[in-house]
Structure 1
């Protein structure tokens, strides 16, 4: 018997009613009309973030020194206690932060700049992570930007790092190797405050804001001077590498004379790597002109060389024994070549963005690049100076003021010449086109 339309509809509705339904998830309503996905992130307490990040930075930079000390004494037949290895590692860590050590041979203050760079990088990252944890960047999202969150993050890193440096100085004790706790506190505070604040303001976009408000001439001069200084240091590193390579036999003999085994030799090579930036700064001072000293009896420059007793260090095997002769004086042109390259890069970058840029701001940036490079090289040379004991090794490194003064004029002249020539060449090229 055929069904009517009404009966067909009733059967369909019954079947739909018996079918299992799918429960839709309850949609969470926004609070006060706000999107829950845009709720502010939960922030960590400033003290906790600073302690965790600073402690991690200290451990990462301390570990290489402890490993090197363990390698140097790994072949000792009597065995070196773990406490002694850790104590010597802490001493090297303090020295990397320019904290002088009082030893049986006198004061030692020459910092291994390779390890210093590792420590500076980790403190910078501590500032970045601390600022991120407290939401320093979020303060300029929809609201006026404030520098105080980043400043507090950098200050907190400096305070915690000062406490770590003080504890390390106390941990040394007074058994023939000690450091001033006050000096350690002040030095670590300055180190942590500088690196932590730089990282915090970089994370909070404070450095970008400052650069955006700085006159273009100053920005170009700073960038060009930094490029010139890095190129001079790169030339110093290349010169050091070539000198050590040419004296590879003497360097290998020095390593063999220690009779430390494979592990000890690896440790010596790593120690040389830690001090390689120091020797790079010395080579840069040699190329610039003033030269450097290693104690009271050794002075090295292109015009005058006097060599006295030297520490048995493989890196020093490549020191010249005579003034520059033959093709060696050509190396003295490397700083000027670095200035020419920096000036060329300045002109290319500036004229690419603004082909009709006037002469005055362009040449002003080129002239100011010299003082910027001179100050940077002077700071690097000052960081690479110190003492390796009392007596004849009390003064080691270049004369920072003389290097900066000579580099100032050399790089200013080179950048001015290169910038002028590049602008004239580009103008002539456009005229031909």
Structure 2
């Protein structure tokens, strides 16, 4: 029985207001006395500052690492470390360097990843500065990305000029265009998330396309993870040779630490080469060389610690089990795809047909092939002239084999997930 009587009207609950009182909107802090209202930053200023900060935060780690390498050299200087840091920063973006030994175009992909991350943050900061945060405007996101990319291209061209003064020849035009090609997509990733356009694109993407693309990305990550594990195991097995190579430089503790950090910067390259090795196409460490599961043909190699883990011959015996790793990775991606589709269908109380399952699984193959082919292209390049003018895998071979392996494995994994799924209880 309610304790409220006509003489005791019900008290308004917390958060409600008496009738007749105008409802208050969201509280907005009033500007302080004498404080000017906040204004949005002009787009050129915001993009320029964000691009310059992204370049500086990507350049400073390179300077520190190369300064450690040069500490053991009596001829090393601060100006030389700064110039070498600029050259290394450009090399991380894929800009080839002209050296006395020939062209150098083998990019350290760890530095490439750092630069792309900093560019995405530049897109975030520039979007916030111009007031485009949460506006869900594709035009604003593209405008911010283009402005950051142009500013980043100017920074790259200026860096090429400064590196040229330091003694290393770099084409300013090539540097500017390469930094533009990296700056626009990198900044666009951050701008899409900040403006909210990325969420709109995600909702507008058809379900089969989103599931297939996700399965392809998962397969690529699993393959690269397997490649990284295999490469790390190989280097650990040949750890004695790697230690001897590092000690042979005679640069002291600081110099050896710098050489180790440089080797770690090329660790993503080694992971991609190892994944290509597991897939079958393999890679080259010089002209007319091949490192495959069925063939290993090598010549004289430079004293680089990462090369200490190269196989000595073709795979045989227990090592042949490595050939099943790419198929198992693709099947795992297909299994996860099938489980995800079945779980979504169970929540909506519908049944997943074979057509809805086979389409995304088959699409995972081309997605993985494109991604791994692009990674293979980015991981290779010349290391001077002569015999080392060809280093890395052949991109189209990696893309073709990855497409076939991932498509077949994903189909098997998705089919297994559907067949082995528990049957729903009868109503």
User: Normalising to structure 1: TM-score of the pair?
Assistant: 0.88
Q: Give the structure 2 partner of residue 58 of structure 1.
A: 55
- Partner of 1:107, secondary structure, is strand
- Partner of 2:94, secondary structure, is coil
Equivalent residues of 2:72, 2:250 under 8 A apart: no
Deviations 1:190-223 (A, max 9, x none): 1111101121111111121111111100000000
Q: Give the structure 1 partner of residue 69 of structure 2.
A: 72
Structure 1 distance, partners of 2:79, 2:44, is: 30
Mean alpha-carbon deviation: is it higher for 294-303 or for 218-227?
294-303
Structure 1 distance, partners of 2:217, 2:101, is: 38
Question: Which is greater in Rg?
Answer: 1
Equivalent residues of 2:331, 2:413 under 8 A apart: yes
Equivalent residues of 2:83, 2:166 under 8 A apart: no
Q: Give the structure 2 partner of residue 430 of structure 1.
A: 424
1:282 equivalent to 2:258? Answer: no
1:48 equivalent to 2:45? Answer: yes
Structure 2 distance, partners of 1:289, 1:191, is: 30
Structure 1 distance, partners of 2:30, 2:120, is: 29
Equivalent residues of 1:103, 1:176 under 8 A apart: no
- Partner of 2:103, secondary structure, is strand
Distance 1:348 1:315, change over 3 A: same
Q: Give the structure 2 partner of residue 231 of structure 1.
A: 222
Structure 1 distance, partners of 2:413, 2:401, is: 18
Deviations 1:337-385 (A, max 9, x none): 1111101111111111113122212110001001100110000000001
Q: Give the structure 2 partner of residue 258 of structure 1.
A: 249
Equivalent residues of 1:378, 1:403 under 8 A apart: yes
RMSD: 1.8
1:121 equivalent to 2:112? Answer: no
- Partner of 2:124, secondary structure, is helix
1:384 equivalent to 2:375? Answer: no
Distance 1:238 1:34, change over 3 A: closer
Equivalent residues of 2:220, 2:372 under 8 A apart: yes
Structure 1 distance, partners of 2:224, 2:380, is: 15
Correspondent of 2:287 among 284, 287, 296: 296
Equivalent residues of 1:104, 1:176 under 8 A apart: no
The structural deviation recorded for 1:76 is 2.4
1:373 equivalent to 2:368? Answer: yes
Q: Give the structure 2 partner of residue 179 of structure 1.
A: 170
Alignment gaps of 5+ in structure 1:
1-32, 140-144
Equivalent residues of 2:80, 2:166 under 8 A apart: no
Structure 2 distance, partners of 1:262, 1:277, is: 25
Deviations 1:204-249 (A, max 9, x none): 1112111111110000000000000010000000000000000000
Q: Give the structure 1 partner of residue 209 of structure 2.
A: 218
1:406 equivalent to 2:397? Answer: no
Equivalent residues of 1:134, 1:149 under 8 A apart: no
Distance 1:431 1:417, change over 3 A: farther
Correspondent of 1:135 among 131, 138, 141: 131
The structural deviation recorded for 1:176 is 4.9
User: Normalising to structure 2: TM-score of the pair?
Assistant: 0.89
The structural deviation recorded for 1:49 is 1.4
Structure 2 distance, partners of 1:280, 1:162, is: 29
Q: Give the structure 2 partner of residue 96 of structure 1.
A: 92
Deviations 1:55-111 (A, max 9, x none): 111111101110111101112234x22111100110000000000000000001010
The structural deviation recorded for 1:297 is 4.1
Q: Give the structure 1 partner of residue 357 of structure 2.
A: 362
Structure 2 distance, partners of 1:147, 1:180, is: 34
Equivalent residues of 1:102, 1:176 under 8 A apart: no
Distance 1:138 1:224, change over 3 A: closer
Structure 2 distance, partners of 1:175, 1:96, is: 18
Structure 1 distance, partners of 2:64, 2:133, is: 37
Equivalent residues of 1:162, 1:186 under 8 A apart: yes
Equivalent residues of 2:279, 2:402 under 8 A apart: yes
Structure 2 distance, partners of 1:82, 1:99, is: 23
Structure 2 distance, partners of 1:309, 1:298, is: 10
Equivalent residues of 1:348, 1:422 under 8 A apart: yes
The structural deviation recorded for 1:45 is 1.8
